[in-house]
Amino acid sequence: MCGIVGVLSNHEASPILVEALKRLEYRGYDSAGIATVNAGVLDRRRAVGKLVNLSDLLVHEPLPGKAGIGHTRWATHGAPSVTNAHPHQAGPVAVVHNGIIENFRELREELASHGIQFVTETDTETVALLAQHYMQNGTRPQEAAFKALDRLRGAFALAFLFSGHDDLIVAARRGSPLAIGHGDGEMYVGSDAIALAPLTNQISYLEEGDRAVVTRHSLEIWDADGTPVTRVKKTIEVDGARIDKAGHKHFMAKEIAEQPGVIARALGHYLSEDGQITLPGPGIDFTAVDRLTMVACGTAYYACLTAKYWFEQIARMPVEVDVASEFRYREPPVPTRTAALFVSQSGETADTLAALRYCTGKADQILSVINAPESSIARESDAVLPIHAGVEVGVASTKAFTCQLTVLFILALKAAQDRGEITTNRRADLVACLRGLPNIISTALGGNAEMQQTALRLSEARDVLFLGRGLMYPIALEGALKLKEISYIHAEAYAAGELKHGPIALIDKQVPVVVMAPRDALFEKTLSNMQEVMAREGRVILVSDAKGIREFGEGAYATLEMPQIDDLLTPILYAIPAQLLAYHTAVAKGTDVDQPRNLAKSVTVE
Ligand code: HGA
C-alpha cells in the first residue's frame, strides 16, 4: 500500500514521477502528490483522489525541477485530503512514506514541546518535522534524516528530498519494500521495480533496515547496524503489462480472461514433459515433515483453505490454516517436523511476512507461494514456489488466486507421492486432468453471457449468501469476498452444513443464495441444504455441472453450468463463476471495478 517514487534525472521530473505513480496506483488512490527541487527551491503539488486529479493540477500549476519524489496514498492516519496527502513538507524537508510510524504520538508531543506545530493528521508529518528539527543546528540533510530515522518505531519505506539539494535523495526501508534503480547518469527510487520499469531494469533492492544516500552518480548504503554495504545490482525482467488493458474494459476482465494462459504457464514450470513434478530450487521433501502450517490473508487465505482439503485428502497430511494477522500475535507452538507455508500475491503482505518471521527458526522448512519472486517473503523463505501469474493490477485478485491453487495442488500431489499415499495411476490421472485445466477454464469463460444475466439479478440484492461444502466451501468464501470487494453488496459464505445453525434466519425471497455444488460425493448433502433454502422462498443460483443441473436445476432461480472435471480440481474451475458473477455485478452497479473504494493491493501495513 502507498506507492513511493523518487527520481534524480537529467530531464523534468514531474512527468517521470507521474508516469511511475501510474504504475503504483494499485497501491492506493486516496490522494497523490509530488515534490521537486528546482533552482534549490522545494515545492510540491498534491490532489485528493486518483492520480488523474494530480495530472490535471499539474497542467495548470506545473512543477519544474529535475529531482523529485512522489506518492500515491492509501490512508492509515488521517482522512484522504490535500492537507494529509504526501509529500509532507517541513521547511527544507519533503518526505514520502509507506507504512505506519507507531510512536508518532510520542514524537508529536516531544516536537510540540519545542513549539513545533503540526498541520496534518498523519503519522508521516512527524518524520519531516523531526528531520527539519535536526537540521536547525546546521546538521547536514543526510545526517538529519538518519537521526530522524533512529527515532522511528513501526514499519516504513521513506524517501526524503531537501531544498538546496537537487542531487540528493535519502531513502530507508524497514518493513516496507524499496528498490533503487540505476539509470545512465540518473537514479531512481521505487516501492517496486515495476514502477521503475520504463526507466531502468537495473535494480538494487534495499534489505531490511537499510538506509541509502542516492545521487545521480552514486549510491551509498548502510545496513541496520550502520555498516556500509553494497546491494547487488540485478537485471530484472521488465513487465510492461501493468498499464495495458489489452482491449478489455477493466484490468480485472483482462486478468480473468488470462487465466487459461497463465495456468498453462504455471503448469509448464511445475510439470515435466513426462508428467513428473519439478519444484524449483531446493523444493521440499515431504517425508522429512509430518505436518503443514499454512498462513495467509484474504484471497490467499482461501487458497490455503482449499489446499488443506487437498493435502488432507490425497497426501493424508495434517494441515493447519490460519489468518496471518491472528497467527502472528497468537504465537502458536510450532511442533518439530513442521513445514510452514506462506501464500501472498505480492510477497510483501505485512502480516504474512511477520508470521513467516515468527516461524523462522521454529519450523523445519519455510516455504512460500508468491507471485513476486523478488519480494521480502520470497527472500526470507527456504524454498520459493512462484505462481507465474504475471503482474496483477486489479485490486480484486483473480488470476493470482487460480495460479496459487494450481501450484498448491501440485504441491499436495508431490506430498502424496513422497508419502506413498497415491497410486501411480491416480497420480497420472490427476496430472492429465491438470494439463486439461486451461482448456476447461476456457470453456467456463465461454459462459460469460449467462453470468452477465445472472449478475443483473444479483446487482439488485442487498445481501447475498454463498454456500458450499468440502472443496466448494473455500470457493464460496472467495465468491462472497469478490462480490463484497467490488460491488459493495453485503455477501457472506457458509459451509452448507452450517446453514441451519444460524444463517438460515436470513433467508427470504429478497436474498439470492449462490450454491456452488458440482455433482461430487457431497452433492446430495448440499442438495438438502438447497431445499431448505427454497422451502423458505430463498432464491437459489445453482452453479453445477450438467448432471447436477439436470437433477436439481428445475426449482432454481438461475443455473450456471460448468464443464465436468475431476472432483479434486473443481475449486480451480468454480473460481471462474465466482469471479465473473462479482465482476458483472460490479459492472451492472457501475462501481470502480479495478480500484474499489477503501481497498488497495499489496497490503504492506498491518
Ligand atoms: N501512514 C501513512 C502512510 C500510509 C500507508 O503506507 N498506507 O499503505 C498515511 O496514512 O499517509
**Could you report the per-residue pLDDT of 35-89, keeping only the tens digit for each?**
999 999 999 999 999 999 999 999 999 999 999 999 999 999 999 999 999 999 9
For residue 114, with 0-12 CB atoms within 10 Å meaning exposed, 13-18 middle and 19 or more buried, which class applies? exposed
What is the spatial distance between Cα 119 and Cα 96, in angstroms, rounded to a whole number?
16
- The three cell numbers of residue 564 are 465436468
Query: Which residues have a Cβ under 8 Å from the Cβ of 271 and sit 6 or more positions away?
Result: 277, 278, 410, 431, 434, 435
Q: Verify whether ligand 1 is closer than 6 Å to residue 1 (CB atom).
A: yes
From the list 418, 412, 420, 340, the residue with the least C-alpha distance to 380 is 340
Q: Verify whether ligand 1 is closer than 6 Å to residue 391 (CB atom).
A: no
Helix (H) or strand (E) holding 142: helix 141-150
Q: What is the pLDDT of residue 238?
A: 61
Q: Verify whether ligand 1 is closer than 6 Å to residue 152 (CB atom).
A: no
Give the mean model confidence (pLDDT) for residues 79-108.
Answer: 97
Q: What is the pLDDT of residue 233?
A: 95
Q: Specify the pairing of strand 179-182 against strand 202-205.
A: antiparallel
pLDDT reading at 282 higher than 90: no
345 close to 300: Cβ distance less than 8 angstroms: yes
For the whole model, what pTM was predicted? 0.92
Mutation choice for ligand 1 from 121, 122, 174, 603, CB with most ligand atoms inside 8 A: 122
Q: Please tell me which residue in 254, 308, 482, 601 is annotated as part of the active site.
A: 601
What is the spatial distance between Cα 528 and Cα 575, in angstroms, rounded to a whole number?
23
For residue 457, with 0-12 CB atoms within 10 Å meaning exposed, 13-18 middle and 19 or more buried, which class applies? middle
Q: Considering only 18-27, 43-52, 112-121, 255-264, which range has the smallest mean pLDDT?
A: 18-27
Q: What is the pLDDT of residue 241?
A: 44
From the list 24, 171, 74, 5, the residue with the least C-alpha distance to 606 is 74
Query: Which residues have a Cβ under 8 Å from the Cβ of 160 and sit 6 or more positions away?
Result: 69, 93, 94, 95, 131, 141, 145, 169, 170, 171
Q: What is the pLDDT of residue 244?
A: 80
From the list 294, 354, 353, the residue with the least C-alpha distance to 321 is 294
From the list 463, 466, 603, the residue with the least C-alpha distance to 529 is 466
397 close to 370: Cβ distance less than 8 angstroms: no
What is the spatial distance between Cα 397 and Cα 3, in angstroms, rounded to a whole number?
19
Percent of the chain past pLDDT 90, that is, above it, reads 89
For residue 26, how far is its CA from the centre of ligand 1 (angstroms)?
14
Give the mean model confidence (pLDDT) for residues 325-332.
Answer: 96
pLDDT reading at 546 higher than 80: yes
For residue 17, with 0-12 CB atoms within 10 Å meaning exposed, 13-18 middle and 19 or more buried, which class applies? buried
Q: Verify whether ligand 1 is closer than 6 Å to residue 87 (CB atom).
A: no
Helix (H) or strand (E) holding 593: none
Give the mean model confidence (pLDDT) for residues 216-245.
Answer: 86
Please report the beta strands in 457-583, taking only residues with DSSP state E, as ranges in sequence order. 463-468, 490-495, 512-516, 539-545, 558-562
pLDDT reading at 404 higher than 90: yes
Q: What is the pLDDT of residue 551?
A: 86
- The pLDDT tens digits for 349-386 are 999 999 999 999 999 999 999 999 888 999 999 999 99
Q: Verify whether ligand 1 is closer than 6 Å to residue 123 (CB atom).
A: yes
Atom of ligand 1 nearest to the CA of 176: 6
Mutation choice for ligand 1 from 29, 89, 97, 152, CB with most ligand atoms inside 8 A: 97
At residue 203, what are phi and psi to the nearest 5 degrees? -125, 135
Atom of ligand 1 nearest to the CA of 75: 10
Cα 159–Cα 164–Cα 169 angle in degrees, nearest 5: 20
Give the mean model confidence (pLDDT) for residues 477-488.
Answer: 98
Mutation choice for ligand 1 from 73, 349, 601, CB with most ligand atoms inside 8 A: 73
For residue 9, how far is its CA from the centre of ligand 1 (angstroms)?
26
276 close to 434: Cβ distance less than 8 angstroms: no
Adjacent-strand bridge partners of 73:
31
At residue 162, what are phi and psi to the nearest 5 degrees? -130, 140
pLDDT reading at 598 higher than 70: yes
Query: Average pLDDT of the chain?
Result: 95
Q: What is the pLDDT of residue 283?
A: 83
- Three-class SS of residue 591? coil
For residue 2, how far is its CA from the centre of ligand 1 (angstroms)?
6
Known active-site residue 601: yes
For residue 355, how far is its CA from the centre of ligand 1 (angstroms)?
21
Query: Which residues have a Cβ under 8 Å from the Cβ of 593 and sit 6 or more positions away?
Result: 250, 252, 253, 394, 396, 486, 583, 586, 587
Residue nearest to atom 11 of ligand 1 (CA): 75
Please report the beta strands in 387-442, taking only residues with DSSP state E, as ranges in sequence order. none
Q: Considering only 235-239, 570-574, 599-603, which range has the smallest mean pLDDT?
A: 235-239
Atom of ligand 1 nearest to the CA of 604: 8
Q: Give the strands of the sheet with 88-90, arranged side by side.
A: 88-90, 93-101, 154-162, 165-174, 211-215, 218-222, 228-229
Q: What is the pLDDT of residue 243?
A: 65
> What is the C-alpha R_g of the chain?
25
7 close to 67: Cβ distance less than 8 angstroms: yes
Give the mean model confidence (pLDDT) for residues 326-354.
Answer: 96
CB atoms within 10 A of CB 550: 13
Q: What is the pLDDT of residue 242?
A: 52
Adjacent-strand bridge partners of 291:
338
Q: Verify whether ligand 1 is closer than 6 Å to residue 2 (CB atom).
A: yes
Three-state SS for 56-102 is: HHHHHCCCCCCEEEEEEECCCCCCCCCCCCCCEEECCEEEEEEEEEC
| Torsion sign over Cα 205, 207, 208, 214 | negative
Percent of the chain past pLDDT 70, that is, above it, reads 99
- The three cell numbers of residue 542 are 445453482
For residue 84, how far is its CA from the centre of ligand 1 (angstroms)?
10
- The pLDDT tens digits for 426-445 are 999 999 999 999 999 999 99
Atom of ligand 1 nearest to the CA of 156: 6
408 close to 307: Cβ distance less than 8 angstroms: yes
219 close to 200: Cβ distance less than 8 angstroms: no
At residue 95, what are phi and psi to the nearest 5 degrees? -135, 140
461 close to 489: Cβ distance less than 8 angstroms: yes
Q: What is the pLDDT of residue 486?
A: 97
pLDDT category at 137 given cuts 50, 70, 90 is: confident
Q: What is the pLDDT of residue 239?
A: 58
Known active-site residue 2: yes
pLDDT category at 343 given cuts 50, 70, 90 is: very high
What is the spatial distance between Cα 70 and Cα 82, in angstroms, rounded to a whole number?
14
Atom of ligand 1 nearest to the CA of 76: 10
Q: Which residue has the cell 460469460?
A: 448
What is the spatial distance between Cα 99 and Cα 495, in angstroms, rounded to a whole number?
36
From the list 18, 21, 14, 19, the residue with the least C-alpha distance to 66 is 14
